[in-house]
Amino acid sequence: MGGFDDYKPVVAMFGLQFTYAALALFARASLLQGLSPRVFVVYRQATATLFISPVAFLWRKSHNTSLGLKSFSWIFLASLIGIAINQIMYLEGMYLTSSSMASASGNLVPATTFLVASTLRMEKINARSLRSIAKILGTVVCVGGAIVMALLRGPKLLNAESHRHSRSIFASEGDGWLQGCVFLVGSACCWSIWLILQVPMSASHPDHLSLSAWMCFMSTIQCAVITLFLEQDPEAWKIHSKLGIAAILYAGIVGSGISYFVQSWCISQRGPLFSAMFNPLCTVIVTILATIFLHEEIYIGSLAGAIGVVAGLYFVLWGKAKDHVEINEETEPILQIDRARTVKPSADGSSLEKPSSCKCDLSEPLLSDISSDETNPV
C-alpha cells in the first residue's frame, strides 16, 4: 500500500465531518418544525435499512459471508447502545440545546473512550509516563469543558439582537438546557462504547457492509420498541413538512447507511481514536452554518467550554501519538529478530526469506493509532 491509499482514511473522515454537519442542521431544522426526536430516529434507521440491505444482500451472495451467534450478539449490543440509545439521546439533547452544542459534545468521545477503555483495562495507565499524564489531563479538561458548556452561558457572542433582555451567567433550568446537556454527554458515552465494540465485532464478522446493514436493521426494531413506550401520541408519527421528509431521507441514506460503512472501514484501518480526531472540524462547520442559517445564539460561556473540550481532545490524541512512537520502538527489535529467523540459506548458498504468517490483531487499533500497513481492525 502506498501513495493515495495511505490518505484514504483521512479523506474519508473529512468527508464524513461535512456529512455530519449537514445532518445536524437538517435534523435541528426538522425538530424545530415539530418532528419528534424519537420518531425521527425510527424513520432514519428504517430508511437506512431499506437503502443498504439490497446492497449488502448482493455483496453477501458474491462473497459468501455468514453471521454466527457470536457476531449476532455483538451486533445486537452495538446497535442498542451505539445507535438506538445514542441517537435518541443525541437528538433529544440537540432539541433542548442547539445543533452547535450537539456537535461540540462529540468532542467528548475520545475522553470518554479513554475512560471506558481504561476501565476495561484496554488502556495502560502509568503515572510516571508523560503520555498517560497527557491522556488523563486531556480527559479532565474535556469533562471540565463539558461542565462549563452545560452550566455557564454568559453574554451572547453572536445573534445577540434576537433577545435583548439580560440573562444570568448560569444556564436556566426551566428551558431544558441542562437536561439537554446531560443527554448529549450520555450520547457521547454511548458512542464511545460503540467505537470500542467495533473491535470485537469486526473480529467476529469482518464484512463491514454486512455489519452496517445488520446494525441498521436491528436498530430500527430497537428504536421502534423504545419509541412506542415513550411516545404516547399517535400524531407524533406523522410528518408534517417536506423538510422533515428530506431530513429523514438524508439522515437514513447518507447519515446512517453510507456513514456507518465508511466509519467502520476507517476504524478498521486506523482505530477508534483516529476517527474521533476529526470531530472538531464538524463542530466548526456546524457552528458557522447554524449561526448563518438557523440564527442560533452563541454564548461566551458555551464557546469557552467548547474550546476546553477541543483542547482536552488533543491532549488525549497527543498521548495516543506517544503510544504509537513507544510501541514502534519496542516492537522494532522484535521484528528484526523475526525477520532474521525467517531467512534461511538455500541450496545454492543464497538466502531465501520464509514467508511469515501475518495475523491481524484487531485489538491493537484501540491501543494505538498505527497505520493500516501494520494493523487492520464507526
Pairing type for strands 343-345 and 298-299 reads: unpaired
**Predicted confidence (pLDDT) at residue 162 exceeds the cutoff of 50:** no
Query: Helix or strand or coil: residue 282?
Result: helix
Q: How confident is the model at residue 321 (pLDDT cuts 50, 70, 90)?
A: low
Neighbours of 69 (CB within 10 A): 8
Q: Looking at residue 65, what is its pLDDT?
A: 62
8, exposed or middle or buried, with CB in 10 Å at 0-12, 13-18, 19+? middle
Pairing type for strands 343-345 and 351-353 reads: antiparallel
CB 27 within 8 A of CB 251: yes
Give percent of the chain with pLDDT exceeding 90: 14
Question: 337-351, pLDDT tens digit by residue?
Answer: 444 544 444 444 444
**Predicted confidence (pLDDT) at residue 118 exceeds the cutoff of 60:** yes
Average pLDDT, the chain: 75
All cell numbers assigned to 349: 548458498
Q: Looking at residue 142, what is its pLDDT?
A: 79
| Alpha carbon 149 to its chain's center | 20
Query: Helix or strand or coil: residue 298?
Result: strand
Q: Looking at residue 322, what is its pLDDT?
A: 56
Most confident of 17-21, 54-58, 353-357: 17-21
Question: 139-149, pLDDT tens digit by residue?
Answer: 888 778 877 77
Neighbours of 101 (CB within 10 A): 27
